[in-house]
Chain A
Amino acid sequence: MMRALALVERDMRKFRRSPALLFASLVMPLMQLIILGNAFGGNIKNAILGVVNLDRGPQSVDVLERLRAVGANARTFLPTDYDDQGAAINDLRKGALSAVLIIPQHYSRDLLERHQPRLALITDNTDRTVAGAVGAQMADLVASINAPQVPPREPPQAALDVVEVYPYVDYMKYFLPGSVSLAIFMTAMIGGGLLFIDDKSRGLHEGYMVTPITKWELILGFNLSGVIKAMLAGETVLVLGAVVAGIPNFFQPARLLELTLMVGLTSVALIGMMFFIMARISDPLVPRAIFGVLNTLLFFPSGAVYPIAGFPRWLRLMSNCDPFTYAVHGFRTLLLKNVGITAITTDIFALVLTSAVVLTGATLLFRRTL
């Protein structure tokens, strides 16, 4: 054990002296949280809507007023008047507009005569998100035009009330569990197994291979130092991310303990997994080549960015085998629901099982000789 601590001491001293490593481990996941958290999940605003009014009657003026009301309040789109339908379509094709609304000739007369006039919304479907948001806003607007002026005597018999069980969760909060897991994973990628490969490539490993340190102590030392660094990174991103994302009641002691347990279990599983992968690799270029692949294979299927329910069947199966999935689910449950450790027993079991499998495999694969 004492000899394993020598490796831990060495790695911690080097970690402290490496600002780039600290930056990569801590700052990058935080930056990702802030940028992705703000980039995804917000409401669409300020889409430019070209409006071609071919009617000029009083009912079309009512439409224009409702459009301007949206532009002044919800700001989903900003209406811009066009006299020429061709020019508007041309601007839409060039990307100057997100959609074009055409109010047809005789719209007012047809509406009053109940001839069901049709407003035309032409959207740029290369951006389905903006097109969908403008379409939904326009559907509401048309529904409001069609609403009866006088309320019906008989109210509707059935209604749906939606109640959210937890406080409002914006995308940044949703993404925070992924950021914490990613910080741990990044430290696992640049620490743990990679350090041994780095030692091998520089011949430094010969220095400790000639000492009485055993194979077990070597494995323990590398993994322990990796876990400490991963926990430091995970805890830092967890605390700063929770403050930035505004997680309510984050600093409850019991909750912090539960989260720390999750950080520890995730660190052991991911560091162990990387050590297992690196156990027989000597070429320092190999890990660099597989990092991008690993990131894609582990991070994106985990549900960190998008719900697993939206995945095809084969990707859901992949998620089930991904330790990252259980880390993200565990953190999400503790951070967003705060329902205690009993709600994440499956996640804990999956991470413990992963740790046991990968560390056993790494021990079998690891060779103490050159």
Chain B
Amino acid sequence: MEAHSQSRNGVAIQVEGISKRFGALLAVDNVSFTVQGGEIFGLLGPNGAGKSTLIRMLTTLVPPSSGTAVVAGHDIIRDPNAVRASIGVIPQNMTSDPELTCAENIGIHARLYGITGARRRQRTAELLEAVGLSDRANALASTLSGGMRRRLEIARGLVHDPQILFLDEPTTGLDPASRISVWEMIAHLRAQQGRTLFLTTHYMDEADRLCDRVAIVDSGRTVALDTPVALKASVPGASRIELQFEPDLPHGAADLEQLPAVKSVRALGSATYRISSDRGPASAQELIELARDLKLELKALSVQSTSLDDVFLHYTGHGLAEMDEAAVPAGRAKKGGPR
């Protein structure tokens, strides 16, 4: 077991020009980034974008075609076993053995990290308690719900108290309640123990809620990398305001276009307009004042902030959902291939 100080204070993951090719398909294309110790770093992208291939390279499951990475101070090509000893991995697939009990799954995983005897029993009990599965310690993993099984996977990944935890789409396939439970657990891991978390997801809300920084991945390349707030701020005119006047504006959309905060106006009919603005909710004040000056009643006003979906659309030119639909059938064509 190693201390967390290295990942807390320094660089936890340094990726340098890493690529992965499966035959003619370039799954990951010259990706570089740095993850600081103690942060939650997210890879956001649709299925087939190369997220899982990238995480599999960083966790030494798949060798890169070119480039390299240093994880927890160890090169993934030259010293893969040191990397493995320093990281915990929660793969996308459920990898706990369904024919073993929860306690056995954790205990055997502990043994794989050289933890034996009383320490193994103690660690198993601690982790079962931490993930709320103490009462299911002797239940077969096959009898657990999807959310419970995912919590068991997280417990297994933490058995050796790793510096860095990799989570590959940790909430995929879970119901909303289980998703929230896993989110709370991830937030707790960082808050209580300060370890570095590296997760992939294709859920915008998940990345927005959990990650300190997000890298947007599309077709094997990182197209943007920053904090969720900065990413959203980087999208011009991303705040959308919808409002309805009673009666209608005397000059229609032209009355709105003269306001400084407004970038564009679209008339939706029935005295209703949609405005794009760079200034977000602050521009609502100007609209209220306009209605007062023109002695109009403002019947409806809603402000929609920029979402990561907008960011994704801005940087890639297409929405996340449409890419997911296109990628799902092809992305799983070959076992061990890109995802």
Contacts and interface: CB of A to CB of B under 8 A. Distances in A.
Interface of A: 2-3, 5-6, 9-10, 13-14, 17-18, 203-214, 282, 369-370
The number of chain B residues touching the other chain, given as a range, is: 20 to 34
A370 B56 contact: yes
Interface stretch (B6-14, B104-112, B309-317): B104-112
Contacts of B109: 6, 207-208, 211
Given A208-B112, A211-B112, A214-B81, A203 B97 contact: no
B114 A10 contact: no
Interface stretch (B42-50, B84-92, B143-151): B84-92
Contacts of A204: 95-97
Given A3-B114, A211-B84, A212-B84, A10 B100 contact: yes
B93 interface: yes
Contacts of A3: 111-112, 114
Contacts of A13: 99-100, 104
Contact of A369 (B63, B91, B335): B63
B237 to A, nearest CB: 43
Chain B interface mostly helix, strand, loop or mixed?
loop
Interface string B287-303: 00000000000000000
B61 interface: yes
In order of increasing CB-CB distance, the 3 nearest A-B pairs are: A207-B95, A6-B111, A203-B93
Interface string B33-69: 0000000000000000000000010011111000000
A14 B81 contact: no
Given A206-B61, A282-B336, 9 more contacts: A2-B111, A13-B99, A203-B95, A207-B91, A207-B156, A210-B59, A210-B91, A211-B113, A212-B85
A6 B106 CA distance: 11
B87 A210 contact: yes
A370 B61 contact: yes
B91 to A, nearest CB: 5
B180 interface: no
30 contacts: A2-B111, A2-B114, A3-B111, A9-B108, A10-B97, A10-B108, A13-B99, A14-B97, A14-B99, A17-B99, A18-B99, A203-B93, A204-B96, A205-B95, A206-B61, A206-B91, A206-B93, A207-B96, A207-B109, A210-B60, A210-B89, A210-B91, A211-B112, A212-B112, A212-B113, A213-B112, A214-B81, A369-B60, A369-B61, A370-B62
A204 B93 CA distance: 8
B223 interface: no
Interface of B: 56, 59-63, 81, 84-85, 87, 89, 91, 93-97, 99-100, 104, 108-109, 111-114, 116, 156, 335-336
A238 to B, nearest CB: 28
Contact of B108 (A6, A17, A205): A6
A267 B212 CA distance: 54
A154 to B, nearest CB: 80
Nearest to B335: A282
Contacts of A10: 97, 100, 104, 108
Contact of B336 (A2, A208, A212, A370): A370
Nearest to A211: B112
B286 to A, nearest CB: 54
B315 to A, nearest CB: 30
Nearest to B110: A6
A209 B61 contact: yes
A210 B84 contact: yes
A17 B97 CA distance: 13
Contacts of B93: 203, 206
A334 B61 CA distance: 48
B120 to A, nearest CB: 10
A203 B111 contact: no
A5 B60 CA distance: 22
Contacts of B61: 206, 209-210, 369-370
B84 A203 contact: no
A203 to B, nearest CB: 4
B331 to A, nearest CB: 15
A14 B101 CA distance: 10
Contacts of B60: 210, 369
Nearest to B88: A210
